[in-house]
Amino acid sequence: MPKARSSYDYIVVGAGSAGAIVATRLSESGRKSVLLVEAGQSNSSVFTRMPAALAYPLSDERLLWSYETGPEPHLGDRRISHVRGKVLGGSSTINGMVFVRGNAKDYNGWAADGLTQWSYDRCLPFFKKMEDFDRGPSYLRGSGGPVRITTCKAEGAIFEAFLEAGQQYGLELNADYNANTQEGVHVYQANIDRGVRASTSHAYLKKAIYRSNLAVLQNATASRVNFDGKRAVSVSVQFAGEERQYYAHEEVIISCGTYESPQLLMRSGIGNRGELGKLGISCVTDVPGVGQNLHDHPCVPVGYRAAMQGVSKVAHLNKFKMAAIGAEWLLFKTGLGATNFWEVGTFFKSSDDAEYCDIQHEFIPMIGDFTHGSHDLHDGFLYQTCLMRPRSRGSVTLVSRDPKAKAKIVHNYLQNPRDLVDLTNGVRRTLEMVKQKAWDAIRGESDGPNLDAMTEHELSSWVQGNVSTQYHPCGTCRMGYDDLSVVDETGRVNGVEALRVVDASIMPRVTSGNINAPTMMIAEKISASMTM
């Protein structure tokens, strides 16, 4: 990795799920120089590489952007905690590794709204390009790409019961939810490379970082993008206690994520002219949609204690068992350490009126908090019930020119009454799946109130009081061609030149399922358009 100099062909801000890919692809030919600016740093510890250790990065503040949204006006003014990855690979270094492309109808919906280059048929080649699917290539799946996609093993009675119960309820067993159809119960696929987390740092940057034409500046915070008239020409970066300026001959690409990308745009003078003026920021171009259209997948947990001990493999682990798991992983990259735990799931409709499946189950084969390094885990299971196509919209609002100041983030979860109806219906159908015969030998008492006994009004109130996040924020720099769009189909920022945004913030509407794979696809697709 070469030492950073003062000017490059391209500057990419943010080395996360998208930025790591953009920097890798732009530097691939060797003809263009690229500077990749990252606020975090590299981390190749056992905790970021071992899939089963995913709880530990979530308790390491050195690796996190920690946010608190709200007060959320439709959740009783509750605040919701969010985390994003502040590390090479971004959130792909701290997430659950579940690989979901989304539904083909999601992308065709984007195309129907005028983004014709984003139909599913035009996105498919870039999903295939990045994949190395463990079941081999087909006309729908890729092989030989940088991201290894591993089919989870889903072994054990608790996973078998989940899959059987879904079929008893009336759903199909879907052999590949990333292929022709999404609906049904399934074994998940994960971006795990032969037992190791396949973050974008692992899959892309690990080799690219040694290129002579790619420089990676870590522990560096971008303050603003600077312009000559309407053309982006440089980025001001806080690094090593001082502010430095790096020049871009061709383009600046912002890949800071859904919360940070709009803030960088606004600090740079791109946003609502009136709001920028209140903060003393000179407006380069009036783009009122910056920071708007924020949305996420809201979810609620439906959990049950087990009627017997031993069905949850990670419950009751002592230090000796944990050491044995770690030793097997270190030596062979196999065993419990090589799993991400989310090994089975469901996509289904909240009601018969839904156009296509709008509820996702992320199934957890245990009860207890394991997301912050906790070991207080018990035998049981939890259906994380998530709304895939929320109608509610929130915003990211800049409160200061200081890049260290936290923005005001309000998601407005359940602002649209239909979201509460759909999510409540999804919970009711989840309860029906739990009642199926396949669970009889395992299912114990509800881990919480008896949801089955609740009236519709009571269940709706419970949902509203327990909604949290699936950690899939998007949309704050959305693609489009109307007055509130921020970028065009290739990520170019409206009203200026030589500036793009490439990350989940440009999604006009969230995709159905985990958004890491779609974010990587977006990066592959736009990078290809830049290097043609």
Q: How many residues does the chain have?
A: 532
> Packing angle between helix 120-130 and helix 516-531, nearest 10 degrees?
100
Burial class from Cβ neighbours inside 10 Å (0-12, 13-18, 19+) for residue 136 reads exposed
Contact 509, 389 (CB under 8 A): yes
- Kindly tell me the burial class for residue 156, based on how many C-beta atoms sit within 10 Å of its own C-beta (0-12, 13-18, 19 or more): middle
Q: Rounded CA gap, 419 and 427, in Å? A: 12
User: Is residue 4 left, alpha or beta, with left meaning phi > 0 and alpha meaning psi from -120 to 50?
Assistant: beta
Catalytic site residue 375? Answer: no
Name, in order, each residue with C-beta under 8 angstroms of 331's C-beta and a sequence gap of 6 or more: none
Distance CA 100, CA 93 (A): 16
Q: What is the DSSP letter of 496?
A: S
Active-site annotation holder among 82, 297, 361, 472: 472
| Residue 378 DSSP symbol | B
Distance of CA 166 to the CA centre of its chain: 26
DSSP 406-451: PPEEE--TT-SHHHHHHHHHHHHHHHHHHTSGGGTTTEEEESSS-G
Describe the chain by its helix, strand, coil percentages, rounded to 5: 30, 25, 45
Q: Which residues are registered as beta bridge partners of 228?
A: 231
CA distances from 131 to 48, 128, 150, 191 (A): 21, 5, 10, 9
Alpha-carbon torsion (98, 68, 294, 238), positive or negative:
negative
Rounded to whole angstroms, the Cα distance separating 339 from 343 reads: 8
- For the beta carbon of residue 397, count every other beta carbon within 10 angstroms: 18
- Find the radius of gyration of the CA atoms of the chain: 23
Quote the longest CA-to-CA distance of the chain.
Answer: 70
**Contact between residue 468 and residue 252 where contact means Cβ atoms under 8 Å apart:** no
Active site residues per annotation: 472
